[in-house]
Structure 1
């Protein structure tokens, strides 16, 4: 029986049953096998030549991409009739998570299988899919995605590249330059965005072999040095009309949906790299001795390891919960339906908000974790002899890729309010009912001895706080709210933290119900620590938002309600964090 599927963004408006959420503890034997195969491929084939890849040995990189194709790693999201394996979203996520220990190689794979191939898989017609997908799945041909331009980064629709129909009606003539194109040096197929007649934003499939296609020099980058990043130059390129992807003037539909998928995948990559950084930090801290003791014996080092694990656990919970949501939604579709691909796009688009949350939370988690990993390594962490130096440099691009974190923070409330205005989410009704409830609100009585009871109460309060702040903003600014970016950022941050908090609580609640409290002790500790620190952030964000909107008497009234909503006794986290670190140190790696 197909279970009821939660709508995107609905987590903010009510309770969620832990049994409905996918967690890493739900991995099937097949999931574990795919993860193991990918990890083995990286260890046996990528790691030994890692330094050569970093020097931009593109012949080697292409050969390895083709080997990944032979293993089926390039076709996980492609239907079987085009040579793919059509795996579920969780399997694709595991592949992405495990590949990241291949550094720049992983980025090349991600650009090819995600933003490079998926536009054709999801929006191509039958002829286009039959022509391109089989060779993209094997790695015989490699793909690149061309959206950004020198004058338009976040403003993708401001593109200057043009497409003009030829007099004989057989070709579109493309002119323009695309910037920061991953895989440009060796890609055979480019998904290019251009404006037909100067104003209709449209997508085209452009082959490297077309006359007038060339690339500029490699960018000299801070990180991800082994990958190719070049401009794509289009000079009177004749693109056959049959290579128009989707509809004229509907390129934004393809671009935004592909970016949503890219944001989710980026979150999975950041998760895998965070785990890797923890493993490297623990390994080093156990070997390195100072003042006659190993670094791991010092409480401040233990605290760092615990904090890295706490935020990585939350990220892991967020990523796999979101993957599970998309898988549940896709299971409701009939693969034989003629509109299957269009329905897939609609189902995935419903979780665009969650994909943005994944991207922002995971990329900022990785920046924190990689920074702490370097700090644990001390001066050696600043040298290229140790991998954490590269992880630190490589991590920085993730807050820029797939729409900057600032853009994603503006998108989250925009998507939420659009859903509310369309009647897809009863946000305004819930907020209105809450307004009356809060006037007489009294903090709940909590049994501190019942695992997760306080954390779940915090979560319930956090959702009320979100609706209170969001509702106040809508009432005050109405349509002008879109111009109040500082307020939108606060609303977005609240939504991000609540999703992470809830995902973590639900994962641990589900684990306790299945495995018992003793076996779930590490998860419980991680959750208790994350909940307390996150709730403190939520309180500060809410105060900032309330005062920013009104510092008069009405603000004092709202702040008095907030004071009741945040009335929780703090817990001493010192020993909890020591327990978390101890288990990781004993295991020599990130473990829950």
Structure 2
């Protein structure tokens, strides 16, 4: 399988070469420098101003955005022609990971870059780009995005905001948008409304436009240091040049940009999870009970190892997607198409990373005990801030349905040969060996292959059973999605680990091996239980019995004592906080 066929679910078919997958270990010196710059900015500039941000001091937020722009961090995705620095997607991921250490500022900068800068870059006219992008990239003006309404959250096309054509070619906008990040101090809004109540369209609306009124700040569970408020449009008049993209094609802007947002949210939440694991390991090493550090207890080792393994899987998937997006050096004019092709993987990352973060933060509080429940320690704030990530950029439920639906559509159109692969599986299942391999590398490859084949089997059976009505079977689609998420995570984990094991120093290689074995073992157990629920919904009789028997062979793991893997990985978390799987990012000089 070549690099170019790693998107849209094509990775479910056959084997991918280890050399075709980008890993965190493949970062170059430029990547390390941008990561160090972003980390230093967050640690030295943003975190010390947390109290001011949580007090809703938006002047401080604007100052930080300007400094962020001066460092080039707001322009990593933007060509130099528009004031950006035009770096690759891996660099963009590293910046987002660093920002994930402060969830409120990550939300502010993420909405600005992903939901205002990117739509302009991909869909703006030359005049629109020249007018707005330099100021946005410099942080001199702040962007926001107005899509959601009271009656249209996940159902974005159900928006009621209207855009009435005017005799001069402009439009009058009326309606109310909700949950607008940066609304309290944004200068430019990307707003969606229906022309003549029908044609869903994106508009660029400056804050100074008469009839544009930001509402009061929402009282949120978390993210107290980011602005979230409604936006009221009452007779707001904009010119014909305010249309972003084409009239009636607003869905292209909204949905393509959301693919980008889901990918970047995966990066931010991965960065947050890494920070929380680091703090949990440090706390466990210093907190003493019964005369010894709690890190010495098996129950805590179990938690640390599971946190690290889940983070390893999410990180492996994240950088794999980043490398795939960068393949071929796609010019910025075509980037929207590239992200559209990676819609399946963007949704996988969004779900995988946000749920990994939630798990890690919950266990972080548990390791901190009572101290995790009070504001004297960061753990409590991290937990509150993270909850919205499973709602942001489309709920995780919607993303599961989207990615499964995309796989179904791509298979039906013949874009990915999933149907042919599913039809060939029954005979292959009968020839599978009863006993799985025991050598670590062979076992990891066995589980990765088995998860992919099991996903294809479930998908193919569901399509054959329900055909055009499969969209109505949401439970089945969710099961398909969960299989695909685990299949991608394990495949990415194994492809990364097998290369590192052959290259790294023994103690680092051991951490990669242990994490991969834990990830693969737990995924195989989950898949076995899931298929017992899902296959009876799509098969019956002899076909069901054959499928269940085949699934057992596909996913069978030898009985193994996981304690050595987990104890070794937990020890690495304590010995090398923040660098469990290799060298820490090196801090460089702040630029600018």
TM-score of the two chains, using structure 2 as the length reference:
0.95
**Take 1:568 and 1:97, find their aligned partners in 2: how far apart are those partners?**
34
Q: Deviations over 1:309-350 (max 9, x none)?
A: 000011110111111110114x1x4x4xxxx61x22112211
Aligned to 1:386: 377
Aligned to 1:136: 136
Aligned to 1:428: 419
Aligned to 2:54: 54
Aligned to 2:568: 579
Larger mean CA deviation between 127-136 and 567-576 belongs to 567-576
The DSSP-based 3-state class of the residue aligned with 1:515 is coil
Aligned to 1:457: 446
2:230 maps to 1:240: no
Q: CA deviation at 1:156?
A: 0.4
The aligned length equals: 580
- Give the direction of change, closer, same or farther, for the CA distance of 1:513–1:4 in structure 2 (3 Å limit): farther
Match of 2:481 among 492, 497, 516: 492
Aligned to 1:223: 222
- Residues 163, 173 of structure 2: 8 Å contact kept: yes
**Take 1:252 and 1:422, find their aligned partners in 2: how far apart are those partners?**
21
- Give the direction of change, closer, same or farther, for the CA distance of 1:463–1:161 in structure 2 (3 Å limit): same
- Residues 532, 570 of structure 1: 8 Å contact kept: no
The DSSP-based 3-state class of the residue aligned with 1:101 is coil
Aligned to 1:146: 146
Q: CA deviation at 1:514?
A: 3.1
**Take 2:435 and 2:507, find their aligned partners in 1: how far apart are those partners?**
25
- Residues 275, 590 of structure 1: 8 Å contact kept: no
Aligned runs of 1:55-454 on 2, under 5 Å? 55-169=55-169, 171-329=170-328, 331=329, 333=330, 335=331, 341=333, 343-438=334-429, 440-443=430-433, 447-449=437-439, 451-454=440-443
Larger mean CA deviation between 53-62 and 185-194 belongs to 53-62
Aligned to 1:555: 544
Aligned to 1:20: 20
- Residues 142, 185 of structure 2: 8 Å contact kept: yes
**Take 2:161 and 2:8, find their aligned partners in 1: how far apart are those partners?**
34
The DSSP-based 3-state class of the residue aligned with 1:443 is coil
- Residues 455, 528 of structure 1: 8 Å contact kept: yes
**Take 1:585 and 1:519, find their aligned partners in 2: how far apart are those partners?**
13
**Take 1:519 and 1:490, find their aligned partners in 2: how far apart are those partners?**
35
Q: CA deviation at 1:568?
A: 2.7
**Take 1:328 and 1:405, find their aligned partners in 2: how far apart are those partners?**
27
The DSSP-based 3-state class of the residue aligned with 2:180 is strand
Larger mean CA deviation between 554-563 and 203-212 belongs to 554-563
Q: Deviations over 1:216-275 (max 9, x none)?
A: 110000000110000010000001101101011110011000000000000001101101
Aligned to 2:493: 504
**Take 1:180 and 1:559, find their aligned partners in 2: how far apart are those partners?**
45
**Take 1:308 and 1:182, find their aligned partners in 2: how far apart are those partners?**
30
Aligned runs of 1:534-553 on 2, under 5 Å? 534-550=523-539, 552-553=541-542
**Take 1:42 and 1:564, find their aligned partners in 2: how far apart are those partners?**
48
- Residues 5, 328 of structure 1: 8 Å contact kept: no
**Take 1:50 and 1:43, find their aligned partners in 2: how far apart are those partners?**
11
**Take 1:48 and 1:553, find their aligned partners in 2: how far apart are those partners?**
64
Match of 1:471 among 460, 465, 474: 460
Aligned to 1:40: 40
- Give the direction of change, closer, same or farther, for the CA distance of 1:522–1:481 in structure 2 (3 Å limit): same
Q: Deviations over 1:494-518 (max 9, x none)?
A: 0000000000000011212333666
- Residues 264, 359 of structure 1: 8 Å contact kept: yes
- Give the direction of change, closer, same or farther, for the CA distance of 1:195–1:188 in structure 2 (3 Å limit): same
Aligned to 2:553: 564
2:514 maps to 1:525: yes
Larger mean CA deviation between 350-359 and 42-51 belongs to 42-51
- Give the direction of change, closer, same or farther, for the CA distance of 1:503–1:17 in structure 2 (3 Å limit): same
- Residues 451, 486 of structure 2: 8 Å contact kept: no
**Take 1:421 and 1:111, find their aligned partners in 2: how far apart are those partners?**
35
**Take 1:278 and 1:561, find their aligned partners in 2: how far apart are those partners?**
38
Q: CA deviation at 1:519?
A: 4.3
Q: CA deviation at 1:528?
A: 0.6
Q: CA deviation at 1:49?
A: 1.5
- Residues 97, 271 of structure 2: 8 Å contact kept: yes
- Give the direction of change, closer, same or farther, for the CA distance of 1:557–1:446 in structure 2 (3 Å limit): closer
Q: CA deviation at 1:279?
A: 1.2
**Take 1:394 and 1:428, find their aligned partners in 2: how far apart are those partners?**
42
The DSSP-based 3-state class of the residue aligned with 1:219 is coil
**Take 2:237 and 2:410, find their aligned partners in 1: how far apart are those partners?**
41
Q: Deviations over 1:510-549 (max 9, x none)?
A: 2123336664111011001110011111111111111233
- Note the residue ranges of structure 2 that are not aligned, 5 or more in a row: 582-592
TM-score of the two chains, using structure 1 as the length reference:
0.95
Larger mean CA deviation between 420-429 and 64-73 belongs to 420-429
**Take 2:285 and 2:370, find their aligned partners in 1: how far apart are those partners?**
16
- Could you say what the CA RMSD is over the residues aligned between the two structures, in angstroms? 1.5
Larger mean CA deviation between 343-352 and 547-556 belongs to 547-556
- Note the residue ranges of structure 1 that are not aligned, 5 or more in a row: none
Q: CA deviation at 1:4?
A: 4.7
**Take 1:111 and 1:425, find their aligned partners in 2: how far apart are those partners?**
33
**Take 2:501 and 2:409, find their aligned partners in 1: how far apart are those partners?**
37
Q: CA deviation at 1:465?
A: 1.2
Q: CA deviation at 1:442?
A: 2.4
